[in-house]
């Protein structure tokens, strides 16, 4: 079913003008009080003209429509239809300008109506005729104000909906950016740890190739294992990104390994041992109740810290301590190497330290790193539990 097409505004105005003029001319032709005259007809057309420009100029249109009443009543004997143009202009004024303009219009037009009644009407001032005409002043203004406020309310609702939509889009973009940054950090940690371990082990293998072939073969096996684990981690990350590409099927999805937490720090021991780092791990059993985000962040911090140990300290011993407190978890990674702060920064460790600080800050924690008084390096991170758990509840909601 086709909906009727709405007339253009200017065509509608002309139609209203013709309707007002026709109503008054019909009343003039049927009136027995006076004969139609050219001056009377001209006065009617002039009185109807304000409806043509009421949309763009509501105040002048209202003023002209009210003043034209004097011309009509002076040149013809009609009274019933002459308020129509002023009623239409009054409604247009209130719709366009609102309550304050409508109140001022009512206060200014009401005395003019009373003067017209006193001058041209045969009815008493304190009578029904006066009440009716004053009602024709108040009613269109009231209806116009109601329409104006309804439009303003709808516009406010629309603006609020658009603002909410923009906020949702911005929040979605922010979450996408944070997720991309998290994935980039994970890829950096996995690749950096594996490549440093492979680099160190390859150097050891090359050194032992002629002197101790058996040990060289063991080193090559360690390289194969470390690279395989790194590939598995990368496939897990990419599998998370690719999951859901084909709804209803898992075809082509990479196997996803659970996210490592602090309890999996022992898994790093083998790779460090083959690189010449003797690792001691002390983990508080209470970390089993940590939020997943805290556990994953702590694991990545320890992994990056131990990667820096392999890269800069050489064969040494390192210790990892994870202790649970009432409001969070304390992580310490220290080594007995001989690297200096200048060597660490100059060789690229600054990016790793910055990444660790960013990870800790992202969940409301803090991280400090620096040389130990008697040699070696210490990384200390404190991760809160309450803020991380609240963040996970918000994400799940």
Per-residue pLDDT band at 91 (split at 50, 70, 90)? very high
* pLDDT at residue 249, rounded to an integer: 47
Instruction: Give me the pLDDT at residue 4, please.
Output: 46
- Can you give the pTM of this predicted structure? 0.47
Which whole number is the average pLDDT over 326-341? 78
* Paired residues of 367 in beta bridges: 381
Q: Is the pLDDT of residue 33 over 80?
A: no
For residue 343, what pLDDT band results from cuts at 50, 70 and 90? Answer: very low
Structure tokens at 32: 């027995």
pLDDT tens track for 348-382: 445 678 888 888 888 889 999 988 888 888 999 99
Name every residue whose Cβ is closer than 8 Å to that of residue 21 and which is 6 or more positions away in sequence: 44, 45, 48
Q: What is the mean pLDDT of residues 296-310?
A: 84
Pair 276, 314: CB distance under 8 Å: yes
pLDDT at 255: 46
Residue 238's CB is within 10 A of a number of other CB atoms, namely 15
Strand partners, 283: 322
pLDDT one-digit tens code per residue, 186-224: 776 767 767 777 777 677 777 777 777 777 777 777 777
Fold of 261-397: Heat Shock Protein 90 (3.30.565)
Report the interhelical angle of 128-208 vs 84-97 (nearest 10°). 30
Query: Domain extents for the chain?
Result: 9-163, 261-397
Three-state SS sequence of 60-114: HHHHHHHHHHHHHHHHCCCCCCCCHHHHHHHHHHHHHHCHHHHHHHHHHHHHHHH
Instruction: Label residue 313 by pLDDT band (50, 70, 90).
Output: low
Say how far residue 342 (Cα) sits from the centre of its chain: 43
Q: How confident is the model at residue 396 (pLDDT cuts 50, 70, 90)?
A: low
Higher-pLDDT residue of 200, 171: 171
Q: Which of 230, 229, 207, 204 is nearest to 219 (CA)?
A: 204
Share above pLDDT 70 across residues of the chain, in percent, rounded to a whole number: 79
């Amino acid at each position: 079913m086709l909906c009727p097409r709405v007339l253009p505004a200017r065509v509608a105005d002309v139609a209203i003008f013709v309707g007002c003029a026709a109503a008054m001319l019909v009343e003039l032709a049927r009136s027995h009080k006076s004969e139609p005259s050219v001056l009377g007809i001209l006065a009617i057309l002039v009185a109807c003209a304000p409806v043509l420009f009421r949309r763009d100029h509501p105040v002048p249109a209202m003023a002209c429509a009210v003043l034209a009443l004097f011309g009509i009543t002076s040149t013809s004997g009609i009274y019933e239809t002459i308020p129509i143009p002023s009623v239409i202009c009054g409604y247009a004024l209130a719709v366009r300008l609102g309550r304050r303009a409508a109140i001022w219009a009512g206060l200014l037009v009401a005395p003019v109506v009373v003067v017209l009644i006193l001058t041209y009407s045969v009815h008493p001032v304190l009578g029904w005729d006066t009440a009716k005409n004053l009602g024709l002043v108040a009613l269109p203004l009231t209806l116009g104000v109601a329409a104006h406020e309804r439009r303003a309310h709808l516009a406010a609702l629309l603006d609020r909906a658009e603002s909410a939509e923009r906020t949702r889009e911005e929040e979605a973009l922010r979450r996408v950016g944070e997720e991309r940054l998290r994935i980039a950090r994970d890829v950096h940690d996995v690749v950096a740890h594996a490549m440093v371990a492979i680099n160190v082990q390859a150097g050891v293998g090359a050194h032992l190739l002629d002197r101790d072939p058996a040990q060289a073969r063991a080193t090559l096996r360690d390289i194969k294992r470390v690279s395989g684990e790194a590939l598995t981690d990368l496939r897990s990350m990419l599998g998370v990104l690719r999951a859901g590409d084909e709804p209803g099927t898992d075809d082509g999805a990479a196997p996803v390994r659970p996210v490592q937490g602090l309890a999996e720090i022992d898994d790093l021991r083998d790779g460090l041992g083959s690189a010449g780092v003797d690792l001691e791990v002390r983990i508080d059993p209470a970390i089993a109740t940590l939020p997943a985000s805290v556990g994953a962040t702590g694991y990545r911090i320890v992994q990056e810290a131990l990667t820096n140990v392999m890269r800069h300290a050489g064969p040494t011993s390192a210790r990892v301590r994870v202790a649970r407190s009432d409001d969070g978890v304390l992580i310490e990674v220290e080594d007995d190497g001989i690297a200096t702060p200048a060597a660490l920064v100059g060789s690229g460790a600054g990016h790793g330290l910055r990444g660790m600080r960013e990870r800790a800050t992202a969940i409301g924690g803090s991280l400090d790193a620096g040389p130990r008084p008697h040699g070696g390096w210490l990384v200390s991170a404190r991760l809160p539990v309450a803020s991380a758990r609240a963040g996970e509840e918000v994400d799940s909601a």
